[in-house]
Homo-oligomer: A and B are copies of this chain.
Amino acid sequence: MEEINQELVPQEPAGKDKGKGDAYDKISIMLYNTEKLEEKHIRLSEVKDYKKLLDDEGAYQLWINLDDDYDESVVESICEIFSIHSLVKEDIIEKGQRPKVEDYEHYVFVVAKMIYYKEDRLTLEQLSFIVGNRYLITFGDEEGDVFDSVRNRLRKEGSLIRREGTDYLLYSLIDSITEGYFNVLETMGEKIDLIEEKVISSKTNEEQKEIRELKKDLLFIHKFSWPLREVTSWLAREESLVLNKSTKVFFDDLSSQLIQVIDTTDTYRELLSGLIEISLSNISYRLNEVMKVLTIISTIFMPLSFIAGVYGMNFKYMPELGSRYGYLITWIVMIVIAAFMVYYFKKKKWF
């Protein structure tokens, strides 16, 4: 990339110990100050060298990013280099964390959940951040994903993000994540509209499974957006050595955006509950319609069949049978009964 002016840490020849499992490809760094930017993949062993640069006069800031499939030993090494608490290390490795923020005096540890649709399925990814004085370590992004827009902004010389500290970089990344939440919610909104149309005209209860799926997804979004909001409002509120006062207003903005996320999930859940109600009511209503048809048919033909049955009896002395107009009169009677029944149901507005 053309913005890189010089390499601050001389790179060892690429072929040397690559393949030794030194996780060469997994660690990418961006070292920058207002003037310079260095961006490359480094080996675990080089991390220490870059850390030293931070104490130099160049006012450099360092962003170390580890891909999703790092192994524990790498996390351990990095935590050692930056003297990170052992609990933090465990939280990074253990994937089932809730979003949270923890203040360890010289650095702040943040866990967040990225959320997106992948092949129409809601997918979660855990991201961990350690933000210290002039360094930010991120764990878990599959390179080229959500963080790319931030990387691009960093590459632009003179951009705000180049001038601000690593806390602003943290804000930018969480902002990216938050945008992901909005995207997911938008997709959901469209899905709900689609289902609504289907439910209203539907003859089956198949939509209920779709509704259930969406409800489950909303449960998960709610589950992770709620604590993420707590994280951002903590970052906007608390005093910490590594958070500049000027960045607080940005986290405050994030916090109010996340309230919007939570609000929207609540609204969506109510809408889905309403759809289930409609779906159930439709089933009941169609049952009613079916039963009306059955009842109308039965009520018309049962008396008629009875009459036919009567004159099918084989009694010897049935005066009507011999009558010249018996058959005709029977038909007339039957038609009158049927007509009366139809009138009755019309009046009752059954059809």
| Interface of A toward B, CB cutoff 8 Å | 85, 87, 91, 96-98, 100, 102, 104, 200, 203-205, 208-209, 212, 215-216, 219-220, 223, 227, 249-250, 252-253, 256, 259-260, 263, 267, 270-271, 274, 276-288, 290-295, 297-299, 301-306, 308-318, 320-327, 330, 349-350
Q: Do the beta carbons of A321 and B330 come within 8 Å of each other?
A: no
A304 to B313, CA, bound (A): 12
Q: Which residues of B contact A260 (CB under 8 A)?
A: 96-98
Report whether over half of chain A's contact residues are helix, strand or loop; otherwise say mixed.
Answer: helix
Least CB separation from A270: chain B residue: B219
Q: Which residues of B contact A283 (CB under 8 A)?
A: 281, 284-285, 288
A98-B263, A208-B281, A278-B208 known; A311-B313 Cβ under 8 A: yes
A339 to B330, CA, bound (A): 22
Q: Do the beta carbons of A274 and B309 come within 8 Å of each other?
A: no
Instruction: Give the residue of B204, B249, B315, B325 whose beta carbon is less than 8 angstroms from that of A311.
Output: B315
Q: Which residues of B contact A227 (CB under 8 A)?
A: 259
Closest 9 A/B residue pairs (Cβ): A308-B309, A311-B313, A301-B302, A294-B295, A312-B312, A315-B327, A205-B285, A297-B299, A305-B306
